Amino acid sequence: MSMFCYQCQETLKNSGCTVNGVCGKPSEVANLQDLLVYLLKGISFWGTRGRKMGVQDDEVDLFVAQALFSTITNANFDPDRFVELIEKAVHLRGRLKSAAQKKCGELHGSDCPDQGPDRAFWLPASYDLDHLAEKAAAVGVISDSNLNEDIRSLRELIIYGLKGISAYIDHAYILGARDGEVLAFLQEALEATANDELSLSDLLDMVQETGEFGLKAMALLDKANTDAYGHPEPTQVNIGVRPGPGILVSGHDLLDLDELLQQTEGTGVNVYTHGEMLPTNAYPAFKKYSHFVGNYGGSWWKQKEEFDSFGGPILMTTNCIVPPAKTYVDRIYTTGIAGFPGVQHIPDRVEGKQKDFSKLIAQAKSCAEPIELEHGTIPIGFAHESVLGVADKVVEAINSGAIKRFVVMGGCDGRQKPRSYFTEVAEALPKDTVILTAGCAKYRYNKLDLGEISGIPRILDAGQCNDSYSLIVIAQELAKAFKLNDVNDLPLSFDIAWYEQKAVIVLLALLALGVKKIRLGPTLPAFLSPTVAEALVKKFELKPIDSVENDVAMMMAGN
């Protein structure tokens, strides 16, 4: 066993990747990520104690979030970048340790003990990969063979939830939004995952709290996005191509797209979205650009064929990169937390200046036009503001019986064949049902012609996985409209697809709200031990997906 990772849905045999990640992550990178998380727990040792004495470091707090985000599935495959992050983690931990110990001495009138757990003190003899790998092997997910499997399961569930929170926080921070309480919680929760005195009950409470802070992070990002770019509007997005060279933008980062659109205006270069960037076509601030053409292709896992056909430069702004094919490796760029060895990386912006996308623009001008994959339009832009703007029509349609049920089918897409289940469910749902969606799972059904109900499209696309908060707001507001105290009393079912850690925090947020009878697929997470899975099933009636026929029948019956 050269590595162990089971944080994503496609982990080998739904058990764990032990040689290389199914995602393409080499064991070297997986182990460096484990070591980075270990050091973040060490930072949290000092951060939680220092905060109680009034010691707090903004740079350290943000670094914890950014470093966690870098370990999310399909974000960064570059070992050199992780060595840099590990080196920075050691440096920042030392700075925080010194500040905390100094404050401790001032408060108590004597030197504070220079001792504690290894994660808070370990220093590498060098930053050589072999040396770091040796340490990583001793601190990985399953390195402690004596640890109770249920404790390990809950610790990892919390950590993966924190990774999801960190993604939302990083996006919000880039747009100037701040929430010190959420950043502080990241450290409190990381410290809890290293505390051997916490019981299963304690950790279950921390899982609940992680979901609650997930809601805060999602709300923060929702406000940051809409303050900056306006509320998404119902929009028919072009999925064909336009004459002229183009740049394709994938990932999730709105500010990167904003700056690229500004820099390409008037150059003759068109800009297209891919994957999770599709929803940006609905923002008023972006729709003003005439060279913002529409969306090209589909879900993240189709990158190799779609990026090859595109012909021009591709910008990966965050996670969802897959190992690039030779046919376009010289045309793909990463930026932000994304990275891949041998791929050109656009540096972070210097304060007061934009990122420099001139290399992409110059390359685009020398590339062929995109090959058209499809044509027509698809509807997007049904975030909470748009849906609540027609809430009276929705309520009327429910009261009249025109709409019998809403089915939330948000979440992640993936490569596995069983994910055709979600297409088949969308097709099998009665014509008096409406699908609420967010995330790339929608690519399994968002191009189906399912029609409308009383002028309301049967597929309401709220946006990215980052926009899952909209689905929560819509459910809560519908409950208020019908004077219900519990969203579980609405004609609403959840049939969720998951893949990576942002989906984990969305699930925990729903559980924190008390939502029950959530169907989750294609498989339940491998990191849930049988005991932990049973506890979630018992408390929240969490369900694995079944056959399409059975699940549709059960959902329509309110089960």
Q: How many Cβ atoms sit within 10 Å of the Cβ of residue 73?
A: 24
Token readout for 219 is 């709300």
Q: Mark out the alpha helices in 410-556 (DSSP H runs).
A: 420-428, 469-481, 501-512, 530-540, 548-556
The number of angstroms, rounded, from the C-alpha of 448 to the middle of its chain's C-alpha atoms is 25
Can you give the pLDDT at residue 114?
79
Q: Give the CA distances from residue 78 to residues 138, 301, 398, in Å, rounded to whole numbers and listed in that order.
A: 21, 19, 51
Distance separating alpha carbons of residues 483 and 479, to the nearest angstrom: 6
Q: Are 16 and 5 a contacting pair, CB within 8 Å?
A: yes
Can you give the pLDDT at residue 57?
96
- The string over 524-537, giving b where at least 16 C-beta atoms fall within 10 Å of a residue's C-beta and e elsewhere, is bbbbbbeebbebbe
Bridge-partner residues for 456, per DSSP?
Answer: 453
Q: Characterize the bridge pairing of strands 518-521 and 543-544.
A: parallel
Can you give the pLDDT at residue 1?
85
Distance separating alpha carbons of residues 508 and 513, to the nearest angstrom: 9
Q: What is the Cα Rg of the chain in Å?
A: 23
Can you give the pLDDT at residue 86?
98
- Work out the burial of residue 130: count CB atoms within 10 Å of its CB; fewer than 13 is exposed, 13-18 middle, 19 or more buried: exposed
The CATH code of the domain at 391-556 is: 3.40.50.2030
Instruction: Report which residue type is found at 544.
Output: P
Helices (H) and strands (E) in the chain, counts: 19, 16
Can you give the pLDDT at residue 111?
64
Bridge-partner residues for 378, per DSSP?
Answer: 237
> For the segment 215-273, what is each residue's pLDDT rounded down to a tens digit?
999 999 999 999 999 999 999 999 999 999 999 999 999 999 999 999 999 999 999 99
Give the per-residue SS3 of 68-130: HHHCCCCCECCHHHHHHHHHHHHHHHHHHHHHHHHHHHHHHCCCCCCCCCHHHHCCCCCCCHH
Distance separating alpha carbons of residues 448 and 241, to the nearest angstrom: 20
* Domain 235-365 and domain 391-556 have a common topology: yes
Bridge-partner residues for 128, per DSSP?
Answer: none
Token readout for 239 is 């999925």
The number of angstroms, rounded, from the C-alpha of 50 to the middle of its chain's C-alpha atoms is 30
List, as one string, the DSSP characters of 164-210: HHHHHHHHHHHTT---HHHHHHHHHHHHHTT-TT--HHHHHHHHHHH
∠ CA 482-485-490, nearest 5°, is 55
Which pairs with CB-CB distance under 8 Å and at least 24 residues apart come from 176-180? 176/224, 177/220, 177/221, 177/223, 177/224, 177/227, 179/216, 179/217, 179/220, 180/61
Token readout for 307 is 């990026």
- What is the torsional sign of CA 103, 108, 113, 117? negative
Which H or E element spans position 379? strand 377-380
**Confidence (pTM):** 0.96
Domain ranges of the chain: 12-227, 235-365, 391-556
Can you give the pLDDT at residue 109?
72
Distance separating alpha carbons of residues 119 and 110, to the nearest angstrom: 24
Q: Which of 3.20.20.80, 2.60.40.1120, 3.20.20.70, 3.40.50.2030 is the CATH number of 235-365? A: 3.40.50.2030
Supply φ then ψ for residue 400, to 5 degrees: -80, -10
Distance separating alpha carbons of residues 218 and 387, to the nearest angstrom: 18
CATH level 2 (architecture), domain 12-227? Up-down Bundle (1.20)
Tens-digit pLDDT profile for the chain (559 aa)?
899 999 999 999 999 999 999 999 999 999 999 999 999 999 999 999 999 999 999 999 999 999 999 999 999 999 999 999 999 999 999 999 999 999 988 888 766 767 899 999 999 999 999 999 999 999 999 999 999 999 999 999 999 999 999 999 999 999 999 999 999 999 999 999 999 999 999 999 999 999 999 999 999 999 999 999 999 999 999 999 999 999 999 999 999 999 999 999 999 999 999 999 999 999 999 999 999 999 999 999 999 999 999 999 999 999 999 999 999 999 999 999 999 999 999 999 998 899 999 999 999 999 999 999 999 999 999 999 999 998 889 999 999 999 999 999 989 999 999 999 999 999 999 999 999 999 999 999 999 999 999 889 999 999 999 899 999 999 999 999 999 999 999 999 999 999 999 999 999 999 999 999 999 999 999 999 999 999 999 989 999 999 999 999 999 999 9
Q: Are 475 and 492 a contacting pair, CB within 8 Å?
A: yes
3-state SS, residue 437: strand
Q: What is the largest CA-CA distance in the chain?
A: 74
